[in-house]
Amino acid sequence: MGTDHAHRHYGDEMLSVEEAQEYILRAMNVLESEEKPLSEAIGQVLAQDLVSKINIPPLTNSAMDGYAVRHEDITEASEHTPIYLQVIDEIAAGSLPLKQVTPGTASRIMTGAPIPNGADTVIPFEDTDEPQRTERRESVMVPGRVAIKYLSPKGSSVRPFGQDIKQGQLVYPAGTVIRSVDLGGLASIGLGQVPVVRRPIVSILSTGDELVLPGEKLDDGKIYDANGVGLIAAVRASGGIPNFVGIARDNVDDLNDKLDECLRGDLLITSAGVSKGDFDVVKDVLSARGEMGFWSVRMRPGKPLAFGMLYDDSGKAIPHLGLPGNPVSALVAFEIFARPSIRKMLGIPNVFRNTVDAVLQDSIENNDGRRVYARVIIRYQDGGFIASTTGNQGSNLLSSMLKSNGLAICPENQKFIRAGDQVQVHVTDWDRVEYVS
């Protein structure tokens, strides 16, 4: 293959993946915080410790619908010798008890309603004669009498205040990523909004005279721009706010105009124009407006990469990541370099994706000492993961991304991974993992 053949000329200058990541991440800062309505804060990171200002539950209350009683009054209750109590009050959830439970009395009480003074135990309806009276269409109104037919231990069906969350309790420390399941808990302590690190605005710019926007007419020699929409989706999935600026043509004026539109963001991601062999116009413009490094990274796909700062006239700078033009290379390089950058800006503690161990079903070859990120479909079967490559791994083959949900790693120093061997896989889309039974 011509591709591999050529690298012997450049192999020595390559950066490792980790060197490139370290250099790039050093330029990323955690963004400032903002107040966000609770339901819009999912995926964002708490900027401050969250301490509950209230007890949950706020008052000691009933876990059942039943009768609040003094346990000492009913220790002799049984089905055949029920204890009769005078019902003095009825307490709904959300209302406060009006009366104290004194010897020989009880208050009818609903789930969640505060336990009245004097009572220490709740006897559920089912353990009283209320079901029978209801069946006979007798009144259960207050005042009246209730027969306790089964004994419960003292304190039964009583939820002490603060049992769930205590006033002053640290509910979540700063740095916690808010997930969907947390919202109920945060609402229950009364939070309408939360202080979170704001999301980065990520400008996305495709470059190339040959590109046409999807949905438009394709003239001979042109291709559709796959990177614009692909990167919009990838930025959103990483937690950033995408700002697609469009396609810049390979000339100085158009590039400069489009770059001006990118300066309002927190990060600029361009695709194409950064390879050693590309026309120099993109590289010239980028170099003139900032400090760009044009790198070769010891990985496949995604070897050519550019990184630096983009300046405006006032000297304000934003980091700029230049991805390869090839759509597969661009998406893999995004995964390895841009996603961690966005996560660092979001304040997420663990910026890198973890790996799971999988059994490889076919083989991965590594013929030039670069780390291979092979697109795989990962399945869960018999208690473990199985990975199959998505066919031809040429970096021009976008179809190899279709249906893929992971990147299997073949290390730099390993010539191949054989079918049946263990392989480490970044699962990039858990929702697409198939479960085979």
Compare residues 290 and 344 and give the one whose CB is closer to a second copy.
344
Count CB neighbours of 137 within 10 A.
Answer: 6
**Of 184-223, which residues contact a second copy (CB under 8 A)?**
184-193, 208-216, 218, 220-223
- Structure token digits, residue 150: 């089964």
Q: Is 357 in the site for a second copy (CB under 8 A)?
A: yes
Q: In the set 30, 140, 142, 165, which binds a second copy (CB under 8 A)?
A: 165
**Of 335-354, which residues contact a second copy (CB under 8 A)?**
354
Least distance CB 119 / a second copy (angstroms): 14
Length of the chain: 437
Q: Is 139 in the site for a second copy (CB under 8 A)?
A: no
Q: Is 274 in the site for a second copy (CB under 8 A)?
A: no
Least distance CB 113 / a second copy (angstroms): 8
For the chain, state the CA radius of gyration.
32
**Of 230-259, which residues contact a second copy (CB under 8 A)?**
230, 232-234, 236-237, 242, 250
- Structure token digits, residue 155: 């304190």
Q: Is 14 in the site for a second copy (CB under 8 A)?
A: no
Interacting residues of 1 by C-beta distance below 8 A, sequence separation 6+ = none
Least distance CB 15 / a second copy (angstroms): 19
Least distance CB 277 / a second copy (angstroms): 3
Peptide bond into 200 cis (omega under 30): no
Q: In the set 148, 177, 274, 372, which binds a second copy (CB under 8 A)?
A: 177
Least distance CB 415 / a second copy (angstroms): 21
Least distance CB 427 / a second copy (angstroms): 8
Binding-site size for a second copy (CB under 8 A) equals 121
> How far is it, in rounded angstroms, from Cα 75 to Cα 78?
9
Least distance CB 153 / a second copy (angstroms): 8
Q: Is 361 in the site for a second copy (CB under 8 A)?
A: no
CA dihedral 214, 219, 220, 225 (to 10 degrees): -20
Least distance CB 11 / a second copy (angstroms): 11
Q: Is 18 in the site for a second copy (CB under 8 A)?
A: no
Q: Is 54 in the site for a second copy (CB under 8 A)?
A: yes
> How far is it, in rounded angstroms, from Cα 240 to Cα 345?
9
Q: Is 278 in the site for a second copy (CB under 8 A)?
A: yes
Least distance CB 313 / a second copy (angstroms): 31
Q: Is 21 in the site for a second copy (CB under 8 A)?
A: no
Of the ranges 81-89, 315-323, 401-409, 410-418, which one interacts with a second copy (CB under 8 A)? Answer: 401-409
Of the ranges 27-35, 51-59, 77-85, 251-259, which one interacts with a second copy (CB under 8 A)? Answer: 51-59
Q: In the set 27, 30, 63, 142, which binds a second copy (CB under 8 A)?
A: 63
Compare residues 154 and 418 and give the one whose CB is closer to a second copy.
154
**Of 282-321, which residues contact a second copy (CB under 8 A)?**
none
Interacting residues of 125 by C-beta distance below 8 A, sequence separation 6+ = 64, 65, 66, 67, 131
Q: Is 397 in the site for a second copy (CB under 8 A)?
A: yes
- Look up tokens 């061997």; give the residue: 421
Q: What is the maximum span of the chain, computed from C-alpha positions, in angstroms? A: 97
**Of 71-100, which residues contact a second copy (CB under 8 A)?**
92-96
Q: Is 325 in the site for a second copy (CB under 8 A)?
A: yes
Least distance CB 124 / a second copy (angstroms): 5
Compare residues 74 and 310 and give the one whose CB is closer to a second copy.
74
Compare residues 33 and 52 and give the one whose CB is closer to a second copy.
52
Task: Say if CB 283 and CB 292 are below 8 A apart.
Answer: yes
**Of 107-126, which residues contact a second copy (CB under 8 A)?**
110-114, 122-126
Q: Rounded to the nearest 5 degrees, what angle is found at the Cα of 265, between the Cα atoms of 262 and 266?
A: 125
Q: Rounded to the nearest 5 degrees, what angle is found at the Cα of 70, between the Cα atoms of 65 and 74?
A: 90
